[in-house]
Amino acid sequence: MLETLHAEKHQIDKNAPWLILLHGLFGSLDNLAVVKRHFASSYNILNIDLPDHGGSLKLDHFSFKLWVDLLASTLTAHQIETCYVLGHSLGGKLAMQLALAMPDRVKGLIVADIAPVRYPPRHRQVFQGLNNVELTQITTRKAAEKQLAVYIPEVGVRQFLLKSLVQDDDKRWQWRFNLQNLIAHYDDICDWPASQQSYLGPTLFIKGALSDYLTLKHQTQVLQYFPNSSAKVLQGAGHWLHAEKPQAFNRSVEHFLEQQV
């Protein structure tokens, strides 16, 4: 049996529907805490660290199939047969891949600001910034931010990345995500494996109006793989729409789920 992913489980009732939360690249399950809190009174929730992120296992290779298998193994370990799945960015890609591979397990799908397409590399400067942080030399988080700033001018991006900078038991600084494996397989992470499958279940794509991750040019691919899908645009929100517009985001998800349950 495959290993399982690190997750926080919140179960209110054995008969309540399950909602699975999947964060994005460089993040951890904490990123979707605002979503978890909103739905915790009406849904069983499994908030998961992606492979190579947070407390989940670190790998030396990558494939979406492997990630789907690990996710499915995690659901099985928690005795979750069917569920709704919400994924943001890279987590959205994984959610879509799960729905295509195992449609009987996914009752409904919410995809936050990502499309089923191959993306051009967007994170080269982020990787340069992360590699510029001398983990064996820094003594404070502030020092790490200063080194990140050489390549990453956006304060918000630096603060987001620094959430994953931690000290181990010996007070050594380290990234919680598996930086070297993410770099080695970044081209594969950007990719979208072609498939003849489609997911016929209800699907909601939520787009940040200020983001270019999900646009009209992606509509053909979206409908190819997810013909029973609808879209919601959050005005004033960028790619981190769940953090920038949490109330509007949660309302959109809630409205979608209420139509299914």
CA end-to-end span of the chain, whole Å?
Answer: 32
E strands, the chain, are 7-10, 18-22, 44-48, 83-88, 106-112, 165-167, 173-175, 203-208, 229-234
Residue with tokens 């985001």: 249
Residue 10 annotated to the active site: no
| Residue 118 CA from chain centroid, whole number | 16
Rounded Cα distance between 96 and 200, Å, is 12
Beta bridge partners of residue 48, listed in sequence order: 7, 22
Catalytic residue among 53, 239, 242, 252: 239
Collapse the DSSP code of 1 into the 3-class scheme (helix H, G, I; strand E, B; otherwise coil) and give the result. coil
At residue 67, the 3 state secondary structure works out as helix
The angle subtended at Cα 15 by Cα 65 and Cα 2, nearest 5°, is 25
CA dihedral 116, 122, 124, 125 (to 10 degrees): -150
Is 239 an annotated catalytic residue? yes
Active-site option among 23, 38, 88, 89: 89
Residues known to be catalytic: 89, 239
